[in-house]
């Protein structure tokens, strides 16, 4: 018997108040706010952030526990690339071994749901990391724009083992499939089109009831015994009506995060599941229902290992991430970030295309922020650098160097990871001249705890309040996209919450 052995979610920093849309476009506007991926995020970078909360970089948690990863899948409706696999970038950022197979399962919300079902189904035999990430965009004034949200989630499933126990085990799964025109998008289009909402309600209603009752039968569970019910779907009314009518106790119906985050498409079911796992108790029954091109239901039973896992992780819960979002994003910024408002470019050349061969040579640096550490014996005459003492020179270099800056030794370098190492803003500048998709560019000299320094862009930061001495942590971002469509992925620093 296997199940979920790790989970983590990522809700981006920015929030758009729905009232800001109405202020700009007129109309009544709806209440609440939605999460917004920043200008330097895409579904791949958010997927990395979610996966890092489960594994760390360098495959940390997996490697440390002696666990073998059998695969990684990545689901989204808006992949950063097509034809080229996006999961390889996540694989690289996590520093996973090259024998781990990866795949993209993209184009629709249901791809993500089925990817998770299949991972759970295989969990007694295979350890899989299932990442789902989405950025929801609609045309200005649309329901998708106001009610969508951006988020990513990663679920680690498998048989478990020493130090990596099963946290929740699947006890039933069921699906109903149908072909009908509810919502659609031509590949490459910015926004989806939808049929009349009442038609969707008409079709989905019976589907979700059928899938739910079969799953409950299979699990030998009565609706009244469900402790947490998660229902997700683009049709909020379908979800809420079903939740009211299905017999599950009202207090067991989980918050759908519609008012605080919005519907996050491919990531939404995982996000709500993570939200439930953040607070569920051993023995609890969790039912997750997805209403997208059919209906899919999974029933999970929480094991006794969950509370210990949560306290060992000690990271921000979904609730905390939702609460720590930065409100007040201007609607014009949101439109510009989504490519719906083209602003006058700076009088600077577009950034150069990252070249494939140097990017491959520096893959551990570019994708996983791995530098080097000098292991030459001490006793030389340091001429710089910050040796950490002990029996080796220890000077840390970003990126990796052949010759040590501190002791000048050659041939004593070993890889040293920095992505999970916090640092401090040592020097800071607001650069009004440099190219940035969201000027001004905020740049800092970051000094890592324990040694090592590099110049990074800062992100998720207020240029007016950021200051030298601020604590920062590293985040995987998309610096820019060239006119021929190459995404430049690298790391930035952001204030440590």
**Interacting residues toward another protein by CB under 8 A:** 346-349, 351-355, 357-359, 361-362, 365-366, 384-386, 397-399, 405, 426-436, 441, 443, 445, 447, 451-457, 468, 479-480, 488-490
Nearest to 32 by CA among 321, 322, 318: 322
Q: Which residue, 186 or 467, is less far from another protein as judged by CB?
A: 467
Task: Give the integer Cα–Cα distance in Å for 278 and 235.
Answer: 25
Q: Which residue, 220 or 350, is less far from another protein as judged by CB?
A: 350
Q: Which residue, 68 or 353, is less far from another protein as judged by CB?
A: 353
Task: Give the integer Cα–Cα distance in Å for 245 and 214.
Answer: 16
Burial of residue 235 (number of CB atoms within 10 Å: 0-12, 13-18, 19+): buried
C-beta of 441: minimal distance to another protein in Å?
7
Decide: 298 and 288 in contact? Cβ < 8 Å. Answer: yes
C-beta of 476: minimal distance to another protein in Å?
12
Helix/strand/coil for 409: coil
Please give the full DSSP string across 175-192, using - where no structure is assigned: EEE----SEE--TT-SS-
Task: Give the integer Cα–Cα distance in Å for 198 and 1.
Answer: 41
C-beta of 405: minimal distance to another protein in Å?
4
Task: Give the integer Cα–Cα distance in Å for 419 and 90.
Answer: 13
Task: Give the integer Cα–Cα distance in Å for 350 and 482.
Answer: 7
Q: Which residue, 244 or 361, is less far from another protein as judged by CB?
A: 361
Q: Which residue, 217 or 420, is less far from another protein as judged by CB?
A: 420
C-beta of 491: minimal distance to another protein in Å?
8
What SS3 string covers 119-139?
HHHCCCCCCEEEEEEECCCCC
Task: Give the integer Cα–Cα distance in Å for 189 and 209.
Answer: 33
Q: Which residue, 140 or 354, is less far from another protein as judged by CB?
A: 354
Task: Give the integer Cα–Cα distance in Å for 4 and 289.
Answer: 17
Q: Which residue, 273 or 428, is less far from another protein as judged by CB?
A: 428
C-beta of 82: minimal distance to another protein in Å?
21
Task: Give the integer Cα–Cα distance in Å for 220 and 457.
Answer: 54
C-beta of 352: minimal distance to another protein in Å?
6
Q: At residue 213, what are phi and psi to the nearest 5 degrees?
A: -65, -35
Calculate the CA 270 to chain-centre distance.
Answer: 11
The angle that helices 268-277 and 109-121 make with each other, rounded to 10 degrees, is 50
C-beta of 490: minimal distance to another protein in Å?
5
DSSP state of 25: H
Task: Give the integer Cα–Cα distance in Å for 271 and 196.
Answer: 27
C-beta of 70: minimal distance to another protein in Å?
30
C-beta of 354: minimal distance to another protein in Å?
3
Q: Which residue, 341 or 355, is less far from another protein as judged by CB?
A: 355
Per-residue tokens: 156: 């680690």
Q: Which residue, 60 or 439, is less far from another protein as judged by CB?
A: 439
């Amino acid at each position: 018997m296997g199940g979920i052995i790790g989970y983590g979610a990522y809700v981006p920093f920015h929030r758009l108040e729905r009232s800001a849309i109405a202020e700009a476009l007129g109309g009544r506007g709806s209440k609440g706010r939605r999460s917004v991926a920043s200008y330097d995020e895409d579904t791949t970078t958010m997927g990395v952030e979610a996966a890092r909360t489960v594994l760390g970089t360098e495959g940390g948690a997996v490697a440390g526990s002696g666990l073998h990863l059998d695969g990684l899948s990545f689901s989204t409706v808006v992949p950063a690339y097509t034809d080229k696999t996006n999961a390889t970038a996540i694989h690289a950022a996590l520093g996973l071994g090259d024998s781990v197979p990866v795949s993209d399962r993209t184009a629709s919300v249901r791809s993500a749901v089925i990817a998770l079902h299949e991972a759970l189904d295989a969990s007694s035999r295979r350890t899989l990391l299932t990442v789902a990430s989405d950025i929801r965009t609609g045309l200005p004034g649309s329901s998708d724009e106001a009610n969508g949200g951006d988020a990513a989630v990663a679920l680690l499933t498998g048989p478990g083992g020493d130090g990596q126990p099963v946290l929740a085990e699947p006890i039933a799964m069921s699906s109903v499939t149908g072909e009908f025109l509810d919502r659609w998008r031509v590949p490459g289009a910015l926004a989806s089109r939808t049929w009349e909402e009442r038609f969707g309600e008409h079709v989905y209603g019976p589907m979700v009831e059928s899938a739910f009752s079969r799953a409950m039968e299979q699990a030998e569970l009565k609706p009244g015994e469900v402790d947490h019910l998660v229902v997700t779907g683009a049709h909020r009314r379908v979800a809420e009506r079903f939740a009211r009518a299905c017999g599950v106790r009202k207090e067991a119906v989980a918050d759908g995060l519609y008012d605080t985050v919005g519907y996050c498409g491919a990531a939404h079911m995982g996000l709500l599941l993570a939200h439930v796992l953040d607070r569920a108790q051993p023995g609890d029954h969790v039912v997750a229902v997805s209403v997208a091109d059919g209906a899919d239901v999974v029933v999970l039973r929480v094991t006794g290992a969950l509370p210990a896992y949560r306290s060992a992780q000690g990271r921000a819960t979904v609730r905390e991430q939702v609460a720590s979002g930065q409100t007040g994003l201007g609607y014009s910024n949101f439109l510009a970030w989504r490519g719906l408002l083209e602003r006058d470019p700076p009088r600077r050349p577009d950034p150069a295309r990252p070249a494939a061969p140097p990017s491959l040579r520096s893959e551990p640096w570019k994708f996983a922020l791995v530098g080097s550490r000098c292991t030459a014996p001490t006793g030389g005459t340091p001429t710089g650098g910050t040796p950490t003492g002990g029996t080796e020179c220890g000077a840390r270099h970003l990126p990796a160097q052949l010759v040590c800056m501190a002791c000048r030794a050659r041939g004593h370098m070993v890889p040293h990871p920095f992505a999970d190492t916090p640092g401090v803003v040592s020097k800071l500048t607001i650069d009004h001249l440099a190219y940035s998709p969201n000027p001004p560019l905020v740049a800092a000299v970051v000094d890592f705890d324990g040694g090592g320094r590099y110049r990074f862009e800062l992100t998720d930061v207020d240029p007016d309040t950021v200051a030298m001495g601020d604590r920062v942590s590293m985040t995987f971002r998309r610096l820019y996209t060239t006119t021929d469509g190459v995404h430049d992925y690298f790391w930035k620093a952001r204030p440590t919450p």
